[in-house]
Protein backbone atom coordinates (compact mmCIF):
# COMPACT_ATOMS: atom_id res chain seq x y z
CA UNK A 1 0.00 0.00 0.00
CA UNK A 2 1.39 3.37 -0.97
CA UNK A 3 1.80 6.01 1.73
CA UNK A 4 -0.92 8.25 0.26
CA UNK A 5 -3.34 5.32 0.14
CA UNK A 6 -2.50 4.41 3.73
CA UNK A 7 -3.10 7.96 4.92
CA UNK A 8 -6.40 8.10 3.05
CA UNK A 9 -7.44 4.75 4.51
CA UNK A 10 -6.52 5.96 8.01
CA UNK A 11 -8.62 9.12 7.59
CA UNK A 12 -11.64 7.19 6.28
CA UNK A 13 -11.26 4.64 9.08
CA UNK A 14 -11.18 7.42 11.67
CA UNK A 15 -14.37 8.91 10.25
CA UNK A 16 -16.22 5.61 9.87
CA UNK A 17 -14.84 3.06 12.32
CA UNK A 18 -13.72 5.16 15.30
CA UNK A 19 -17.22 6.40 16.26
CA UNK A 20 -18.64 2.87 16.03
CA UNK A 21 -15.74 1.44 18.09
CA UNK A 22 -16.18 4.22 20.64
CA UNK A 23 -19.91 3.50 20.95
CA UNK A 24 -19.30 -0.27 21.23
CA UNK A 25 -16.71 0.37 23.93
CA UNK A 26 -19.10 2.58 25.87
CA UNK A 27 -21.74 -0.14 25.73
CA UNK A 28 -19.40 -2.79 27.09
CA UNK A 29 -16.94 -1.05 29.46
CA UNK A 30 -18.65 2.28 30.10
CA UNK A 31 -17.92 5.90 29.33
CA UNK A 32 -15.09 6.28 31.86
CA UNK A 33 -12.87 3.75 30.08
CA UNK A 34 -14.02 4.11 26.47
CA UNK A 35 -12.84 7.53 25.36
CA UNK A 36 -13.30 8.74 21.78
CA UNK A 37 -9.62 9.61 21.34
CA UNK A 38 -8.73 6.09 22.47
CA UNK A 39 -10.98 4.76 19.71
CA UNK A 40 -9.20 7.01 17.20
CA UNK A 41 -5.78 5.79 18.40
CA UNK A 42 -6.92 2.14 18.27
CA UNK A 43 -8.16 2.59 14.70
CA UNK A 44 -5.00 4.37 13.52
CA UNK A 45 -2.67 1.81 15.11
CA UNK A 46 -4.81 -1.07 13.84
CA UNK A 47 -4.75 0.23 10.26
CA UNK A 48 -0.97 0.72 10.36
CA UNK A 49 -0.44 -2.70 11.96
CA UNK A 50 -2.73 -4.28 9.37
CA UNK A 51 -0.70 -2.78 6.51
CA UNK A 52 2.58 -3.94 7.98
CA UNK A 53 1.43 -7.38 9.14
CA UNK A 54 -0.49 -8.05 5.93
CA UNK A 55 2.50 -7.21 3.76
CA UNK A 56 4.80 -9.47 5.78
CA UNK A 57 2.58 -12.45 6.62
CA UNK A 58 -0.03 -12.41 3.86
CA UNK A 59 -3.79 -12.45 4.14
CA UNK A 60 -4.60 -15.59 6.12
CA UNK A 61 -1.91 -15.63 8.79
CA UNK A 62 -1.77 -11.85 8.75
CA UNK A 63 -5.51 -11.67 9.41
CA UNK A 64 -5.20 -13.87 12.48
CA UNK A 65 -2.26 -11.89 13.85
CA UNK A 66 -4.11 -8.64 13.12
CA UNK A 67 -7.11 -9.87 15.12
CA UNK A 68 -4.85 -10.46 18.12
CA UNK A 69 -3.25 -7.02 17.66
CA UNK A 70 -6.70 -5.38 17.42
CA UNK A 71 -7.89 -7.11 20.59
CA UNK A 72 -4.65 -6.19 22.34
CA UNK A 73 -5.16 -2.52 21.43
CA UNK A 74 -8.70 -2.63 22.82
CA UNK A 75 -7.45 -4.30 26.02
CA UNK A 76 -4.76 -1.64 26.49
CA UNK A 77 -6.66 1.51 25.58
CA UNK A 78 -10.04 0.60 27.08
CA UNK A 79 -8.38 -0.95 30.15
CA UNK A 80 -10.37 -4.15 29.96
CA UNK A 81 -9.82 -7.89 29.70
CA UNK A 82 -9.60 -10.06 26.59
CA UNK A 83 -13.17 -11.34 26.86
CA UNK A 84 -14.65 -7.84 26.97
CA UNK A 85 -12.29 -6.79 24.18
CA UNK A 86 -13.69 -9.63 22.06
CA UNK A 87 -17.24 -8.55 22.93
CA UNK A 88 -16.38 -4.96 21.93
CA UNK A 89 -14.96 -6.22 18.63
CA UNK A 90 -18.11 -8.26 17.95
CA UNK A 91 -20.44 -5.38 18.89
CA UNK A 92 -18.31 -3.07 16.73
CA UNK A 93 -18.66 -5.41 13.76
CA UNK A 94 -22.42 -5.88 14.20
CA UNK A 95 -23.04 -2.14 14.65
CA UNK A 96 -20.90 -1.39 11.62
CA UNK A 97 -22.92 -3.79 9.46
CA UNK A 98 -26.23 -2.44 10.80
CA UNK A 99 -25.20 1.14 10.04
CA UNK A 100 -24.00 0.10 6.58
CA UNK A 101 -27.28 -1.67 5.74
CA UNK A 102 -29.37 1.19 7.10
CA UNK A 103 -27.46 3.60 4.87
CA UNK A 104 -27.94 1.31 1.90
CA UNK A 105 -31.66 0.76 2.38
CA UNK A 106 -32.85 4.11 3.71
CA UNK A 107 -30.58 6.64 2.10
CA UNK A 108 -29.76 4.66 -1.02
CA UNK A 109 -26.03 4.99 -0.65
CA UNK A 110 -25.72 1.57 -2.32
CA UNK A 111 -26.02 3.29 -5.69
CA UNK A 112 -22.55 4.68 -5.12
CA UNK A 113 -21.04 1.21 -4.86
Segments making up each domain of the chain, as ranges: 3-111
Radius of gyration of the chain (CA): 15
Q: What is the pLDDT of residue 71?
A: 97
Are 66 and 53 in contact by the 8 Å Cβ rule? The answer is: yes
Are 43 and 18 in contact by the 8 Å Cβ rule? The answer is: yes
Largest CA distance in the chain: 40
Tell me the whole-structure pTM to 2 decimals: 0.84
pLDDT, average across residues 43-53: 91
CA distance 79 to 87: 14
**Helix 36-57 to helix 3-29 angle, to the nearest 10 degrees?**
130
Q: Which of 20-24, 38-42, 91-95, 99-103 has the lowest mean pLDDT?
A: 99-103
pLDDT digits (tens, 9 = 90+) for 11-46: 888 888 999 999 999 999 999 999 999 999 999 999
Amino acid sequence: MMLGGLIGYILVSILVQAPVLWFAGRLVVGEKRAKFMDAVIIVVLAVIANAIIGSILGRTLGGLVQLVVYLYLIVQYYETDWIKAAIIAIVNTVLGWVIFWVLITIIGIGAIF
